[in-house]
A and B are shown apart, each in its own frame.
Chain A
Amino acid sequence: MQTHNDIWQELATHHGYLLKVARRLTPNDALAQDVVQDTLLTACEKFNQFQGKSSLRTWLTTILKNRLRDTWRADKRWVAPLTLGEDGVEDFDALFEGAGHWEKETFVQWRSPEQLVSEQQFISVLDDCMKKLPAKTGQVFMMSQVLEMSTDEIRGELDITASHLWVLLYRARMTLKLCLEKNWLGLASA
C-alpha cells in the first residue's frame, strides 16, 4: 500500500518534464512554477483515480493541460490571437523552384528514422529548435503535439480558424525541419 510520501516522490520525478512544458506555455517562469505545483498537488489528491490505463506522464500532462487552460483564461493577453503575418513572414517559397518542385540545391535528405530517433543528439537539437519557434507557432505546436489538444480545443483557446491553425502547424514543422538541418550536419544522409 503506497504511502502519501511514496506517491509524492513518484510524482516529483515528473517535475522537470512538466516544468519544461509549462515554461513554453506561460508568459513567465513564476507562473510556470505555480502551474506545475498545482498540477502535482491535484495529481496527489486524485491519485486514487489514476487507473494506469495511460502512463503516469500522460495522465499528468492532461492535468497540466487543464491547469494551463485556467491560466490562459485568467489572462487572455498571452494567448491573444495574432494575424498570420505577425508571427514571421516565412512562407518557404525559397525552398521550391518555379514549377513548384523542391529546389534540388537546398533539399536535404535525412538518415533513417529508426537511427535518428534513437540518437540523443537528435532529441537535443529538436529540443533547442522547439524552443526557438516563433511565439504563436511554438504555442500551437506545443498545444497540439505535447498537450495533445484537439483542433477544437486549440481553437477554443486561441479563437482562430481551423485553416489558420493548419498553417501554423505547417510552419512549425517546416521551421523545425530547417532548424534541425542547420544545426546538426549529422542529420543528413551521405
Chain B
Amino acid sequence: MRKHHGCAAIILSKMTANGEATVFQLKCKDASMLMAHSQDESLPWCKRVQLRAHLMMCHRCRGFNRQMQTLSQGVRKWKEQSD
C-alpha cells in the first residue's frame, strides 16, 4: 500500500468506508498556530482550506487573525521609527 504524505494523507485517512471524505474540524488552538505561522510562510493548501472553513464559523478566530496581522504591521512600523 503506497504511503501518502501531507495534504493527501489527511484527506485519505478521513475517508469513510462509503468513500465520503469528512472535513477535519479545527479547534481554535490549532487554528491559532496556523494563523501565527501564516504570517511567516504560506500554509499548505489543505491547512488553508481547513483554516478558512474554521474562520467562517468562529468570530474570535477572525479577531485573532486580524490581531496577528496587526502585530506584523506594528513591527514594521517599529522598524521604520527613528530613535
Contact of B28 with A16 in the complex, beta carbons under 8 Å = no
Q: Is the pair B28, A126 in contact by a Cβ cutoff of 8 Å? A: no
Is there an interface contact between B39 and A17, defined as CB atoms closer than 8 Å? Answer: no
With A16-B82, A110-B63 known as contacts, the answer to whether A96 contacts B77 (CB < 8 A) is no
Task: Count A-B pairs with CB separation below 8 Å.
Answer: 87
**In the complex, are the beta carbons of B37 and A17 less than 8 A apart?**
no
Query: Is A170 a contact of B36 with CB atoms below 8 Å?
Result: yes
A18, closest chain B residue (CB)? B83
Q: Interface-forming stretch among A38-46, A65-73, A80-88, A97-105? A: A97-105
- Chain B interface, DSSP helix/strand/loop, else mixed: helix
Given contacts A126-B78, A173-B39, contact A113 B28 (CB under 8 A): no
Q: Scoring A residues 93 to 131 as 1 if CB is less than 8 Å from chain B, else 0, what string do you get?
A: 100100111100001011001001100001100110010
Contacts of A122 in B (CB 8 A): 74
A173 touches B71 (CB 8 A): yes
11 contacts between A and B (CB under 8 A): A57-B79, A57-B80, A93-B29, A96-B29, A110-B67, A117-B73, A123-B77, A126-B74, A169-B36, A169-B37, A169-B40
